[in-house]
Chain A
Amino acid sequence: MDPSRIAFHGTLAQLVDKVESGEMVPKLQASHAPPCKFWTAFQVLNGIRHMAPVIHGPKGCTYSVASSYKMRGCEYRGVPLEPTTCTAQDEADVIYGGEGKLLEAVKEADQRYHPDLIVILSCCCSGIVGDDVETVAETAAFQVQARVLALRSEGFGGDFRSGYEDAFRALMDLMEPRTEVMKGTVNIIGAREGPTYTEWTQDLDEIQRLVKGIGARINGVLCGGCTVEEIRRASSAEINASWCYDWGQKLGDLMEERFGVPYARTGQPYGPAATEEWIMGVAEPLGLERQARQFIAEESAAVADEVRTLQRCFQGKTTLIEISEFPGPIRALSLARMAEEFGAHPVVINLHPYTVKERLPSLKFLLSRGENPEVILTHGIFALGSFNASASTQEDVAMIASQYDNALYVGSPLRQPGVPQLNMTTMTGYPQYGYRGIRNMARLAESGLEHAARPRSRLFKRVLYGD
């Protein structure tokens, strides 16, 4: 392996140590910026029906999230377009403060849209000038019909992850105390507006199918299109389960601490073992083991051929799972586990130190369960300029693949390293979760092997790598 291209080569545990000790600086280069805290907080809240956001900021922040999340979510999910409002802060508001205007805007939003919930989100401007959004929310709550929450979500105030977590935390204020437990009822937690690269409706649908398959009932998917009423009674569900341990973890921990709602701590249901684990993680606390065992047996039998296909495709291979475009870090680790289950040796490529820092609790959880795959970081992901990074990463991945006689590449078709590859991004390949996911992945893996020798097209080469 060309050492000049490799920034790190070791295990996941070693990488986590290096990031924690500051030996690997968890910083994204200038050209690779995920959304800010405001964007991600909005993303969570946008998954609530009849919620009117009142963004205390300029128009740019507002139209941007409306266009990227609201409109896209509506088109993808087939739900109606609802408003994304703001105070349209201008220079005068920055100089004199805009609390009065904000209060009026909240009242106007209530009169115009009759929402179930109004959430005031602060932006950089209102955050820096010190507008007290919480007090405005408290005042407004007495003057409007809707419930009113405030969220400090200035873009500079935290990383993208803190936006998700703070939004989930704020939502707990809508939840009633846990009184009478709704037997056999589950909250699916950690969802956002969808679709994001990490959250596909088809995967959520499969999760819901698994829950229903064991005879349990779902209260709501928080916040994947849920209602305020579902949030209100979420504290009385018998258990919380996450569509992805990473995203649900914070809300699960907080609801456990505040309301005593147990949280099924399981990874993502990729492959037979993890799917069974996910199902039993929900079934056992609900006392539904028998139904669950029967469901697992039926579903497993139905995908037996596909499981054999996957075993044939993975057995004895080195599986290179490259994550910078997709499937993202946590799915990559879930895929690594699945690859191992099918007899492959997984190598995760380009788990960025930034993402390691942001996901430490989840990574430590996975490590505690013995998931500690080999990890390689290439210099490509640290290259400045997104095109430079992309072209360079292709060369890096091709170089790594050439080191193995039997490599199988799992990731995005943005790369084509010259070995059999499983395209994890094709729209027709979802869900990837659960038993339906096994079926889809078997199809994709088989196609990957069959067409391994096909070259990268001249068109793609020139578009993607500038060759």
Chain B
Amino acid sequence: MATERVTNAAAAARCHDPYLRCALYGAAQTALGVRGCCVLSHSPQGCFQLVDAAFGWQDADYTETLTLCTKLCEDEIVHGGEGVLARTILEARELDVRLMFVVTACGPEIVGDDIMAVCQDLQPEVEFPLVPILCAGFRGDQNRGIEIALEAMLEHLVPEEGGFRVPRSVCLVAPHANSNPTWMGDLAWVREVLAAMGATVVATLAHDTAPEDFEKVPMAEGCLVLSHDAGQGAADLLAERYGVEQWCRDLPLPIGFSNTASWLRELGRRLGAEAVAEGMIARGEATVVERCRRKGLEQSPLHRTPAAIVADATVGVPLLRFLAEDLEVVPTLVCLRSGQADAQAMLEREIASLGVSPTVIRDADVYAAKKALGEARPEMVFGSNVERHAVEELGIPFVFRIVNPLSRFRMVDRAYFGYEGMLNLIEVMRNDWLDRYRSRHRRYRARW
């Protein structure tokens, strides 16, 4: 069935209430995925708060990863901030820095600080490599920043010559461009799967990545982009420069039975591990079924219930099939905050193949999402804490909080990918459902 309506929310609006941060944040997120690095924010001190937030998103360890800021003020905007940048880089020599990324904010880029030249000039004076990343906020949103940073990493840290190819090896790209608040769980699942299929991960761009891993990037046979929101640019570069082939490109990420099975089969085919893939699928599905039998799978709130998805493309696109196919929900609205060019086409294919007809909103901001929810009036929303607030006046009873920002702290990483991921999502639904169902009214006083 064809989509009834596809709207690009960002195109018409002048006034935006965004779900995303800017390019500086995305670049900082990416840089902070490198173990033992130092990220120097060439910016006023407010932008440093974005670097702090990125630090949290990458689960960086503050005993080994450093964040610094040039704290630009009016003087540096009027007279230029290259001097203070140079001074801060030199001061960092007293720290245990293995690699320094210099990320730049709007101010210094507009006034024309030549960050590239400063880094080039100072490189002989410091023992750590300097990687400048021009990622001013006005260059785009956080996903654009991830692309910019990945490109800078490939440019500065990956050797031009590929060397030998490691058989059955893979480079993982953009695992952090994923609105699952503990996306490290998804990454861990992918790593487990690859290991079981006998593959080697030569580098992850970027999470807990050792600086020396960059040298191995050209040795990869294939790359997997673990996001539908960012990373395609880097995958294209890897293909163009080093002949690293992208795997699973046109497949939704592995959320739900069908998506997970397709993804695993494709990976098995690439790695010559078809039997391993089939074994994983059989065992994984059996585990989910058995767990649901034993612990109970609540059907009544889900069965043919009109539902909305408000998420990024990484979670939102594959979630659609999981909800419609596995949980018998009827998706009436898909509101994507972001998504790469391919993600829209992928979503259209999914909608057609599932025979559903949700309204689709692309590039949604908070206003567009709220407005769409108001019009669609679903009975449940798969989204974030923002939607929990947004639907309060709309009378929509259930908001399952699965994507960032959440109002719940998670100490343990929970995957959405794979079979345990399905159980994790079902667990969130069950708890949020119970939370909403529980009465807040006290009708009489206890006697104990």
List residues of chain A with CB under 8 Å of any chain B CB.
Answer: 28, 30-31, 33-39, 54, 57-64, 66-68, 71, 74-75, 80-81, 83-91, 93-94, 101, 104-106, 108-109, 112, 123-125, 128-129, 154-160, 384-388, 466
Sample of 14 further A-B pairs with CB below 8 A, known A36-B44, A62-B17, A93-B138? A30-B40, A33-B45, A58-B138, A61-B22, A71-B405, A83-B366, A85-B367, A86-B18, A109-B15, A125-B110, A156-B44, A156-B76, A384-B92, A466-B63
Judging by beta carbons under 8 Å apart, are A80 and B389 in contact?
Answer: yes
Q: Which of B25, B43, B138 contacts A94 (CB 8 A)?
A: B138
Q: What is the bound-complex CA distance between A158 and B45, given in angstroms?
A: 10
Q: What is the bound-complex CA distance between A275 and B312, given in angstroms?
A: 51
Chain B 68-84 against A: per-residue CB contact (8 Å), 1 yes, 0 no? Answer: 11111110110000000
Nearest CB of chain B from residue A384's CB, rounded to whole Å: 6
Nearest CB of chain A from residue B16's CB, rounded to whole Å: 4
Nearest CB of chain B from residue A29's CB, rounded to whole Å: 9
Judging by beta carbons under 8 Å apart, are B138 and A61 in contact?
Answer: no
Chain B 134-168 against A: per-residue CB contact (8 Å), 1 yes, 0 no? Answer: 00011111100000000000000000000000000
Interface centre among A28, A75, A85, A109 (most CB of B within 10 A): A85
Nearest CB of chain B from residue A401's CB, rounded to whole Å: 24
Judging by beta carbons under 8 Å apart, are A64 and B63 in contact?
Answer: no
Is there a chain A Cβ closer than 8 Å to B111's Cβ?
yes
Chain B 91-114 against A: per-residue CB contact (8 Å), 1 yes, 0 no? Answer: 110110000000001110011000
Judging by beta carbons under 8 Å apart, are B386 and A385 in contact?
Answer: no
Judging by beta carbons under 8 Å apart, are A125 and B68 in contact?
Answer: no
For A74, what are the chain B residues with a Cβ–Cβ distance below 8 Å? 389
Judging by beta carbons under 8 Å apart, are A384 and B76 in contact?
Answer: no
Interface centre among B16, B72, B88 (most CB of A within 10 A): B16
Judging by beta carbons under 8 Å apart, are B407 and A75 in contact?
Answer: yes
Q: Which of A33, A61, A83, A90 contacts B69 (CB 8 A)?
A: A33
Q: Which of A63, A85, A109 contacts B20 (CB 8 A)?
A: A63
Main secondary structure of the interface of A (DSSP, over half): helix
For A160, what are the chain B residues with a Cβ–Cβ distance below 8 Å? 45
Interface centre among B22, B45, B367 (most CB of A within 10 A): B45
Is there a chain A Cβ closer than 8 Å to B448's Cβ?
no
Judging by beta carbons under 8 Å apart, are A61 and B74 in contact?
Answer: no
Nearest CB of chain A from residue B373's CB, rounded to whole Å: 14
A-B contact pairs, 17 of them (CB 8 A): A30-B69, A31-B69, A33-B45, A60-B21, A75-B407, A84-B17, A85-B16, A90-B140, A108-B13, A108-B14, A124-B44, A124-B77, A124-B107, A154-B44, A155-B44, A155-B46, A156-B73
Is there a chain A Cβ closer than 8 Å to B66's Cβ?
yes
Known contacts A90-B138, A90-B140: A388-B95 contact under CB 8 Å: yes
Judging by beta carbons under 8 Å apart, are B392 and A80 in contact?
Answer: yes
B residues contacting the other copy or chain, number (CB 8 A): 63
* Closest B residue to A390 using CB positions: B62
Judging by beta carbons under 8 Å apart, are B106 and A124 in contact?
Answer: yes
Q: What is the bound-complex CA distance between A466 and B96, given in angstroms?
A: 15
Interface centre among A60, A64, A160 (most CB of B within 10 A): A60
Known contacts A36-B44, A83-B367: A28-B142 contact under CB 8 Å: no
For A387, what are the chain B residues with a Cβ–Cβ distance below 8 Å? 62-63, 66
Judging by beta carbons under 8 Å apart, are B49 and A68 in contact?
Answer: yes
Instruction: Give residues 10-57 of B contacting A (CB, 8 Å).
Output: 10, 13-25, 40, 43-50, 53
Interface centre among A38, A58, A129, A154 (most CB of B within 10 A): A58
Q: Which of A36, A86, A93, A386 contacts B46 (CB 8 A)?
A: A36
Q: What is the bound-complex CA distance between A93 and B25, given in angstroms?
A: 20
For B122, what are the chain A residues with a Cβ–Cβ distance below 8 Å? none
Q: What is the bound-complex CA distance between A31 and B70, given in angstroms?
A: 9
